[in-house]
Structure 1
Amino acid sequence: MVTTAVSIITLVIFACYYWLIFRFSQGWKKLKKIELSPSTEKTSLSCVIAFRNEEAHLTKLIEGLKKQQNVSFEVVLIDDHSTDNSFALANKLTADLPTFTVLKNKGWGKKAALANGVAASRFDYLVFTDADCIHPQNWLANMAHYFNSSSALLLVGPVRLTKPTNFFEYFQAFDFLSLVTSAAGAIGASRPIMCNGANLAVYKDLWLAAQSSLKEEWASGDDIFLLQYCKAHKKNIAFVNSHHAIVQTYPEPKLSAFLQQRARWASKSKGYTDNFTLLVAWTVLLVNLFILALPLLFLLYIPLSFGLLALYIIKITLDYHLIKRGAYFFKMKLNTGSYLGIAFIYPLYIIASVLWAFFGNNTWKNRKINQIIYLL
């Protein structure tokens, strides 16, 4: 009786997961591609960037932004109480650039810094990114072109990690690719679930209207809670389906930093209000929990374990076909052997991230997460 109930529950959960992957795959096919015109875009953009202790990345960031072409824009940089030389360096690098403004955060944390930046911005459309990112020269032009060519008020831009040099970085790149690919597919299926603040654009009035829903009690989430607000209020959301709009960011150098980053992302799920996003999160968690239980099932009940193993193989196959779409878009090589190795350890990683999110000592930019929440 118990094994029958467990078998039914397992089948329902995996069937739900397969349905989600199918929807995301179909969503990728529906994503519209809008070609960039060679002329200068009429829509002016305010690029708002909060930074803290980014001395190592500011030079490359500002060099990339200086080279943006075919678009009218300004850049507002906000220092969130850096303890290194970031603020002085940002001022030095932008001293002769009239379209760049460098401010100090009047509050605490990234959300407050972004609010300061938006308050100082001049244009009706906002673009957000992070200081540790690399931007192609037509990045802002593509964002402006998507606003001009569609009815979208929130643009979710593509993000990828820089080219990996070892297996740990490849694992991060693969994990990041799966998230971005799923997010884009969900948008194509008209069921947005996530976005990334490293490449995000929004109509300013909409951003201002969403402020009361961005959950100040959470240290991060300026991106996902904005997406959920736009979805709840039926605002048009689009994925920027252009290679020229891909923003690159760096992998974490250490395992502890990587787990803390993913745990910080996972911890935001406690503030989710969108039912479909919660369905996706719980389905992914439960599927990986069942997979992690495979060794135990082989010891306790072999028939059920073989059934679960078959479901696991189907999952790996479906995941591969979805992720392959993203790899093609980002021009990333998807090594089958490495993929299978990652698929084997992925359930353990998912559960570890969730446990760390709820019970670990999470920090961000040398601040404890609960410290940031308290200060906010």
Structure 2
Amino acid sequence: MLIYIFYSLIVVAFIQLFYYLGIFGKFAFGKQQDITAKNLPVSVIVCAKNEEENVKKYIPLLAQQDYPDFEIVLIDDASSDETLEVFEQFEKEYSNIRLVKVENNEAFWGNKKYALTLGIKASKKDYLLFTDADCFPNSKNWITAMTANFTSEKTIILGYGGYEKVERSFLNKIIRFETVLTALQYLSWAKLGAPYMGVGRNLAYKKEEFFNVNGFIDHIQIRSGDDDLFVNQAANKANTTISYAPESFTYSKPKKNYKEWFTQKRRHVSTAEHYKFFDKVQLGLFFCSQLFFFLLVIILLSFQFQWIAVLAILATRYTVAWTVVGCAAGKLKERDIKIWFPFIEIALIFTQINIFITNIFSKPVYWK
């Protein structure tokens, strides 16, 4: 029996090496990205619901972008706090801000996709750049860096949206590591010509791409997925590219406790259930190969079966994975998290198992 477990470990190890070297290595070991300004007309779109404090801090940072031709479309999704009043003040203060007020709609109540659709239709520019109300750009050249990747063929741009660093917080390291690993996956697959998701914290596309797929209509009943489900549907090898110059990054404040972050990840996982079949298979295969790799190693070492070979396989896998993740973290300016890779990876595996089990018995909460 143990010999079959050993052979299974070899197969699983090869799958892991294929992912890290054959797929993730495309991004991790790729050359740094150069920026050549295009100065295309851009509508920056921000949808907010009860984000009064965040929009006070972050909308001025968007308004101060060093870019010649852009407007900011602020969408208030029926907020119950002072978000709308703050937006109205910004509209008076900045000439390039356009305000969209969304009333509660019985058919689409609490659905961010409905609010975003109204904002997209109200926008006046051909190119759309999205971020969240709790996000801020890494530089005054954020718009320049993101839109520099548009071409006549490439009309969907996948960017990186990270989280602020919190000193002496292991949860913060887990959150940022998970964000890097997720970005490593979707940026690598996009670079290989198989894009499957993007993040609404930093995403751009030409307006015509939205109307080519009839907007969010095919998944309007799913209350999440205005970013990843749209990309999963509309993106392909021909029309999609990535942006990973540091000037193009955005950052958000991370969740303050494990419960809040766990709830957030539950929403993300439940949305992934609606991806295309191939995308669900490749994501599931990667996670399963991670899980079974450790389980098989533990079993074999417990019985001291071929322990030298098992340790060699373990060392090889860790050397490769650690190198790839470390290079990717460096590109995404998250170098400090790479030393925690072995510990955080185990924590994430158990967290994902917990999420899958929890989602079976209850549905996660979505847009506010």
TM-score (norm 2): 0.87
Larger RCO, structure (CA 8 Å, separation 6 or more) = 2
How many Å apart are 1:238 and its aligned residue?
0.8
Assess, with a 3 A threshold, how the Cα gap between structure 1 residues 71 and 307 changes in structure 2: closer, same or farther.
Answer: farther
Aligned to 2:162: 160
2:45 aligns to what SS in structure 1? Answer: strand
Provide the rounded CA distance (Å) in 2 between the counterparts of 1:304 and 1:193: 39
1:24 maps to a residue whose letter is F
Alignment of 1:236-251 (within 5 A): 236-251=239-254
Aligned to 2:61: 64
1:143–1:95 CA distance, 2 compared to 1 (3 A)? same
Deviates more, 1:258-267 or 1:13-22: 13-22
Q: Is the 8 A contact 1:47 1:74 kept in 2?
A: yes
Contact 2:27 2:184 in 1 (8 A): no
Q: Which runs of 5+ in 2 are unaligned?
A: none
Structure 2 counterpart of 1:80? 77
Please state whether the residue corresponding to 1:163 is helix, strand or coil: coil
Q: Does 1:51 align with 2:48?
A: yes
Q: What's the C-alpha RMSD, in Å, of the aligned pairs?
A: 2.7
> Which of the numbers 257, 260, 263 marks the counterpart of 1:260?
263
SS at match of 1:271: coil
| CA gap 1:313/1:299 in 2 versus in 1, 3 angstroms | closer
Larger displacement relative to structure 2 (126-135 or 234-243): 234-243
Q: Deviations over 1:158-184 (max 9, x none)?
A: 221112221111111111111112222
Within 1, Cα distance between the matches of 2:298 and 2:225? 36
TM-score normalised by the chain length of structure 1: 0.85
Please give the alpha-carbon distance, in whole angstroms, between the structure 2 residues aligned to 1:306 and 1:182.
Answer: 31
- Whole-Å Cα distance in 2 between the matches of residues 196 and 56 of structure 1? 22
**What is the identity, as a one-letter code, of the residue corresponding to 2:90?**
L
Question: Structure 1's 298 and 7: CA in aligned 2 closer, same or farther, altered over 3 A?
Answer: closer
For 1:16 and 1:292, the matched residues in 2 are separated by 13
CA-CA distance at 1:305 after TM superposition: 8.6
How many Å separate the matches in 2 of 1:296 and 1:320?
20
- Provide runs of 4+ in structure 1 moved above 6 Å: 304-309
Quote the offset at 1:28 in angstroms: 3.9
Gaps of 5+ in 1: 367-376
Cα deviations across residues 283-338 of structure 1 (Å, max 9, x unaligned)? 13312432564697369855389877665544433322122122222333335653
2:319 maps to 317
2:190 to 181, 187, 190: 187
| d(CA) in 2 for partners of 1:312, 1:104 | 55
Distance in 2 (alpha carbons) for counterparts of 1:236 and 1:156: 11
Partner of 1:12: 11
- Give 1:172's aligned residue: 175
Letter of the 1:215 counterpart: H
Question: Residue 15 of structure 1 aligns to which amino acid in structure 2?
Answer: F
Distance change (3 Å), C-alpha of 1:305 and 1:74: farther
Q: Paired residue for 1:369?
A: none
